[in-house]
Copies of this chain bind each other. A is one copy, B any other.
């Protein structure tokens, strides 16, 4: 692997054509696994070169002000709900392939091209900006997404892209030439908020979702636009096939806000994301019998709402026992009248755990115990102090299965080393499993991948008030930059 650093720190725009010609006073450091970097025959003019040779990237500082100014400036494309009085205290509403998303995309293309990248748009509108390295081959990517929830915040997805832009800026500032190309990718419709399939375009790239299916996704809310029609309309239906075969990646790193409370609660700064937890989504139907609330004694009831309440209570107990998560986000009942005992309740159950086996064990326990409780058998005292009623039935339907994703050890190691270097303390860094899906899930199916988490204030996300401090954003961006460079060095060493 080689990292080249130019002594000249001039801020003039980096252009690819001028790149080799400006490599007059460069330093080249060659490393191979386990050996110190062999010094190249070229001449170095910069003191910083020695640091980088030793794997110390501390000279490559992200500029927190530039990172945050750019992030907030681009949030003028699709500004959302105001939640505070400050100039940046508004959320975002930048639905995929909307006019606001087109503005953000145009800015992304223009900016990355100005930073020396070659931009490719594929048939799903994924935008790959690649900065050449000394050698050819697939780029090591930093990637995330510019689309948001309809009532989203300024960090989810956006921070990962902005950190990628800042990476390009820092490399230009320091005139660093990587051994292999590096890139920044903006994935289309990660949120699935407008076209109802999360991570649809990284899924097509991974060839896990058929192109046709994704193209035909119709916008929610009754409109007739499809992903394909909107890609055409805003000029982002690229000619390059949406596939890892046409746009291979050497690796994929993604900086993202945690969207949960763990880092904040533990007073830590960086999460080294080792994978994404497994999850299954179920729909549970509880079938009892409608009856009059006033005329039906407790013992004569087949009360679907009471049983559903017990099942939800029990699902939490099982999750506690398994070290898993169980959540009910939707519940409907019928007939829905104050004085009618519901004969039918339907609710969702979202079960997650780091290991597939845990989710499977949860599913087996849920099915066994739900049937028992429906039949009137007590479990763990849940039916204590109650009046036995009539039996009910419970049906399970599996709606979605997402197996556990295990990220690549090389990428995880690169993130961990970078996080410890940037924060200066292993104690400020923790290994984590992502609870939510990300484009990195699909990326990891076709290339080594890992993610970097930074704290979310109060764990709030998908909300205008989503917030991560500028300091934490800059730490995350610096860890992303170092992770990409470490991986580039690793590739070169092989």
A contacts, CB < 8 Å to B: 258-262, 265, 277, 279, 281, 290-298, 300, 303, 305-306, 308-313, 316-317, 319-321, 325, 327-331, 333, 336-342, 348, 350, 352, 380-382, 384-387, 399, 434-437, 459-463
Contacts and interface: CB of A to CB of B under 8 A. Distances in A.
A294 B435 contact: yes
A298 B320 contact: yes
B316 A329 contact: no
A348 B352 contact: no
A296 B261 contact: yes
A330 B336 contact: yes
Nearest to A458: B289
Contact of A350 (B327, B338, B381): B338
Given A309-B312, A316-B298, A327 B293 contact: yes
Contacts of A325: 293-294, 296-298
A81 to B, nearest CB: 14
Contact of A352 (B259, B260, B294): B294
A382 B296 contact: no
A255 B423 CA distance: 81
18 contacts: A259-B292, A260-B291, A261-B297, A261-B300, A281-B339, A295-B435, A296-B459, A298-B316, A305-B327, A305-B328, A305-B331, A309-B309, A309-B312, A313-B313, A316-B386, A330-B333, A338-B348, A381-B381
B260 A279 contact: no
Contacts of A337: 329-330
A338 B333 contact: no
A462 B296 CA distance: 13
A280 B479 CA distance: 60
A341 B296 CA distance: 33
A402 to B, nearest CB: 10
A440 to B, nearest CB: 14
Contacts of A303: 316, 327
A297 B331 contact: no
Contacts of A386: 316-317, 320
Nearest to A293: B327
Residue among A279, A319, A338 with the most chain B CB within 10 A?
A: A338
A292 B338 contact: no
A281 B337 CA distance: 11
Given A294-B436, A309-B311, 4 more contacts: A265-B300, A300-B459, A329-B338, A339-B436
A350 B295 CA distance: 12
Contacts of A312: 305-306, 309
Contacts of A342: 328-329
Contacts of A313: 306, 309-310, 313, 382
B260 A300 contact: yes
Nearest to A336: B330
Contacts of A434: 294-295
A436 B303 CA distance: 18
Q: Which of A265, A311, A327 has the most CB of B within 10 A?
A: A327
A434 B277 CA distance: 54
A335 to B, nearest CB: 8
Contacts of A384: 317, 380-381
A291 to B, nearest CB: 6
A324 to B, nearest CB: 9
Contacts of A352: 293-294
A38 to B, nearest CB: 44
